[in-house]
Structure 1
Amino acid sequence: MTCARTLSFDPWNGLALYHIGLAQIQLGRFEDALTTFKQADRFDTPQVSRWTWLLGAGWAYMLMGRSEEAVPWLQRSIATTPASGRSQMLLAAVYQKAGRIDEAKATMKEGLKLRPGTTALNIGLSTKNASPVFLQATDRVIQFMIAAGLPER
C-alpha cells in the first residue's frame, strides 16, 4: 500500500519499486518481480541504490531457473556496490549451478568476507507469509550456495 501510494506521486521511485519486487518474489510471482526490477533499472535513479534491483533481477532469474540470465545483472550489481556481499553469494550459486565450481567457491569466499557470519539459516528473507513456490525455489538456490561454501549454520 505504501509503495503503491509512493509511486502514485513519484513513479520513478526505485526504492518503492524494489520493495514491490521483493513482495512479488515472496508471493512466488517471479516474472512480475523481474518486470518490476527491470522497470526500476530503466529509470535514472541514484547510482548508489541501483545495486538493489540489479540484485533483485538476478535473484528473480535464479528463482525461475534461468541462472545464466542472472549473471549480467549480478555482475552489474557488484560493479555498482561491491561491498554488499549478497550479490557475490547469489553469483556464487549461479556459478555452482553452471558447474563453474572454482569460480563459485572463490565468489562465495568473497561474499563471506564481506558478510561474515552469514549462513544458510540467515541469508534469506523472512518466510512468514511466503508462498510455497517461493520457499521451494529459495531452498534450491540456498543448496547451490551451500555447495559453493556457504556455511549451513
Structure 2
Amino acid sequence: MITEKTQEKILSLKDAIANHPADSALYVDLGFAHFEAEQFEVALAAFRQALALNPAAAAAHNGSGRVYERLGDAQAALGAYNEAIALDPTKIPPYIGLGIIYLDQLGNYEAAATAFGNGLMYHPDDPFALALLGNTYAHMGRFEDAIQMFQRAIHLEPTHDFALSNLSLVYLHLGQWAKMIDSCQRELAIADDAEPRRLLGYVYNRLGQYEDAVAQLERSVALNPADYEARGALSRVYRKLGRDSAADAQYTQANALAAQDNEYGQACFAAVTDDLEKALTLLAIALTKGQVRPAWVRIDPEFAFIQAEARFQALLTGS
C-alpha cells in the first residue's frame, strides 16, 4: 500500500518532470518512487523513459533490474544489472542485485560470490555486501569464510541484524551453542524479534534448559502467532515438562497452520516436533518438487539437530 509520503514524492516528481521533460534523472527518481510503492510496471515505464532520454543512465538500468527481480524475471534482471555495471562499474547496487539473483533465484552460488566480491573490490566496507557474501558462503558450505564475512559486517555496523541473524544460523549448524546464543542475544538487543527467540528455544531445549526454552518459545509465539515451527517446538518442550494439556493445545494449533503450507513447511514442522520419519518423507517430496534447494536445507535451523542422520544427508546429496 502506497504511503502518503511516497504519494507526495511521486506528485512532486511529476510536477518537476512537467517543467523539465528532458531530465532523465527525474524519471529515474520517479521510477524508484513507484518501485517503493510496489507499482512495478509504472516504475519500469519511468526507467525506460529515462533510458530513452539518456541511454547511458546506469541508475535506470539498475532500477529496471530491481523491477525485473521483483517480477521474477531473472534473465531480464541479470541483463539490466550487467548493463548498469558496464556503464558505471564503481557503483555497488547492481553488483548486489546481480548477486541476489544468482543466490536466491538461480542457486548459482559461485556466480553470486563473484558478483558480491566484485562489488566489494570497489566498496570493501559495505556491510550488506559483506553479509550477502557470507550468506553465499554459508550456502556453499564454506562456513569459516561465512563467519569471517559476517563478523566483518558486524564490526562495521554492530546493529546489522541480517549479518547477526545469519551468523546465528551458521553457529547453530556448527553446534557452537555459546556463540550462537551470544549472536541471538545481540540481535535481540537491537529489536525483540520472533526468529532469534525461536532459535534460542531450540538450543536451550537441546541443552536441557527447558524452562529457558519455554520462555523463549512463548515469547516467539507471542511475537508471531502464525509461526507453526515455534508452536511445534513449544509443544515438544511442554511435553518434556509434563505439561501435556498445554502441549496438546500448541500442537493442534501448529499442525493446523502447517497443514496450510507446502511439503517443505510441513517437513520443518515435523522435524521440530521430533517426527523424523514424517520429516524425511515430506522433505524428499519437497526436494523432488523443487520447493527448496539442498544448500538451504543444510543450514535451515529446523533441521539443525538431525544433521547426523544418514538418510537426511542422502537426501541432500541425492545419493
Regarding TM over 0.5, the answer is: yes
User: What is aligned with 1:104?
Assistant: 247
User: If the length of structure 1 is used for normalisation, what is the TM-score?
Assistant: 0.72
Question: Counterparts of 1:79 and 1:68 in 2: how far apart (Å)?
Answer: 16
1:74/1:87 contact within 8 Å kept: yes
Secondary structure of 2:297 counterpart: coil
Runs (5+) with no aligned partner, structure 2: 1-145, 284-295, 310-319
1:34/1:61 contact within 8 Å kept: no
Secondary structure of 1:108 counterpart: helix
Question: Counterparts of 2:246 and 2:163 in 1: how far apart (Å)?
Answer: 33
Select the residue among 257, 261, 284 that pairs with 1:114.
257
What whole-Å deviation, never above 9, does each CA across 1:14-55 have from its counterpart, x for those lacking one? 232121112111111112211111111112x3x6xx111111
User: What is aligned with 2:200?
Assistant: 57
Amino acid at match of 1:24: Y
Amino acid at match of 1:10: E
Select the residue among 62, 69, 85 that pairs with 2:228.
85
What whole-Å deviation, never above 9, does each CA across 1:122-153 have from its counterpart, x for those lacking one? 6998357xxxx9448x98xxxxxxxxxxxxxx
What whole-Å deviation, never above 9, does each CA across 1:53-73 have from its counterpart, x for those lacking one? 111111111111111111111
User: What is aligned with 1:29?
Assistant: 176
Question: Counterparts of 2:165 and 2:206 in 1: how far apart (Å)?
Answer: 16
Runs (5+) with no aligned partner, structure 1: 140-153
Amino acid at match of 1:111: A
Amino acid at match of 2:180: A
User: If the length of structure 2 is used for normalisation, what is the TM-score?
Assistant: 0.37
Select the residue among 107, 122, 126 that pairs with 2:297.
126
Question: Counterparts of 2:206 and 2:161 in 1: how far apart (Å)?
Answer: 21
Question: Counterparts of 2:196 and 2:182 in 1: how far apart (Å)?
Answer: 11
Select the residue among 150, 153, 165 that pairs with 1:6.
153
Which has the larger helix fraction? 2
- The percentage of aligned residue pairs carrying the same residue is 23
Deviates more, 1:3-12 or 1:62-71: 3-12
Question: Counterparts of 2:224 and 2:208 in 1: how far apart (Å)?
Answer: 25
Question: Counterparts of 2:306 and 2:197 in 1: how far apart (Å)?
Answer: 21
Computing the radius of gyration from Cα coordinates, the structure with the larger value is 2
Question: Counterparts of 1:85 and 1:135 in 2: how far apart (Å)?
Answer: 19
Give the number of the structure with larger relative contact order, counting CA–CA contacts within 8 Å between residues 6 or more apart.
1
Question: Counterparts of 1:108 and 1:25 in 2: how far apart (Å)?
Answer: 24
Secondary structure of 1:126 counterpart: helix
Question: Counterparts of 2:257 and 2:162 in 1: how far apart (Å)?
Answer: 23
Secondary structure of 1:12 counterpart: coil
1:39 aligns with 2:186: yes
User: What is aligned with 1:150?
Assistant: none
Aligned-residue offset at 1:8: 3.0
Aligned-residue offset at 1:9: 2.4
Question: Counterparts of 2:298 and 2:242 in 1: how far apart (Å)?
Answer: 29
